[in-house]
Structure formats: structure tokens, C-alpha cells
Chains A and B, each alone.
Chain A
């Protein structure tokens, strides 16, 4: 059964460092998303991506964040200068062929900023 994969499973970084979180969405999906979940809190939307451009982003997704689909399979989230409050689980999701379809989630990357 097709699934969303994410790497790494756990990333530890120093405050101010850049991190790149990687995701391989389900192959025939067209819509891609990043969400985050701070420990013990709700899942929060960051950004959606369709047709090689951002289709929607939240207030959390400021200039420190960027997304890219560098090739036909990978979808990345970059945080340029990490802050302590960026520590969270980051989930990639994909859906398609319509944005009406359910979103399927990867296992997450746990980001710890020291």
C-alpha cells in the first residue's frame, strides 16, 4: 500500500542552525502539505503546495520557512534559523488527485532545537 515517508525520524540541532526535513509523498498525489504538532498540543497547519507553488500558508509559516519540490518525488521543508519554539513533530501529508481528497500523513520528523 502506498505511503508517505519522511526523513530523518529525529533531528537534533542548535538554535540558529538551518534544517531541512524531507518527505516523499504518495506518487500519484498532486497536493502536498506540512503540519506540525508541539508536544501535547493540536496539529497545526503550516503550508500547502500544488503545481510547484504555495497554495496556502498559515501565520506560522513566516520568512524563516520555505518549501521546495526539487524533483518529481521529494518535498522538503527548510527552516533557515531554528528557534527553541520550533521544537515539534513535523508531519508531511499528501492528497490527490483533488484537494477534496483525504490527506495521508507520514510518520513525522521529531525536531529538537537546543
Chain B
């Protein structure tokens, strides 16, 4: 069964304190792994797509990496506005749907 597990459930950091969020997955033929940001009461906001192991993508203070079993979202010198829930989702070759993790709630304290 295709499955996505994210850790930790919640992460509190001081402003400027770098860290990483983990997304472990099992999927029968990975088409793509997606990272989204979700603010309370809002829809998921697209951040990155990763398609193959070894791939990396960067956007401002965020960098996403992918291996054959997991993905990391590295956040460097975060600011309070980076506070949100970060969601990981996978898409299998045989499907159109995204299969989602439960998310990591990131809180950046000033």
C-alpha cells in the first residue's frame, strides 16, 4: 500500500535556527514527490516537485532533496513568516491522485 509518513509532527525553532523536515514514503513506482505549504484555513500552496533520487530544488530559504525512500525539506535561517504546516505528497505512475502525509507544523519564534 502506498504510504507517506512525515516527521516530526511539530517543530519549534528560534528565528535563524536551521533544521530539516522528513518525509518517508513507500510507493509502487514513484512519478513525483511534492512539497506544499499550508497556512491555517487555506489550501495547500505548491513549493517543489522532485522526480528522481538525487534531485534537489531550492527556493529562498527552502531546499528539498530526494532519495529512493525519503525526502528532506531543509530550512535555512528561518523567519517567523515561514511558520506553517509543510505537507509532503507522492504520486505513483499508475495514479493521478496525490497521497499525502499528515504534515509537519513548523513554528518559528522571533
> Could you tell me which A residues sit within 8 Å of B by CB distance?
4, 31, 33, 35, 41-45, 48, 50, 55-56, 58, 89, 91, 99-100, 102-108, 110
Contacts and interface: CB of A to CB of B under 8 A. Distances in A.
Given A42-B101, A43-B87, A55-B96, 20 more contacts: A31-B96, A33-B96, A33-B97, A43-B100, A45-B98, A50-B96, A58-B97, A89-B41, A99-B96, A102-B34, A103-B34, A103-B46, A104-B46, A105-B36, A105-B43, A105-B45, A106-B43, A107-B43, A108-B41, A108-B42
B104 interface: no
Interface in B41-98: 41-46, 49, 87, 89, 95-98
Interface of B: 31-32, 34, 36, 41-46, 49, 87, 89, 95-103
Contact of A48 (B31, B43, B96): B96
Contacts of A50: 96
Given A56-B95, A102-B34, A44 B100 contact: yes
Contacts of B97: 33, 45, 48, 56, 58
Nearest to A107: B43
B42 A107 contact: yes
With most chain B CB atoms within 10 A of its CB, the pick from A103, A105, A106 is A103
A102 B49 contact: yes
B43 A45 contact: no
Contacts of B103: 42
Contact of A102 (B46, B87, B100): B46
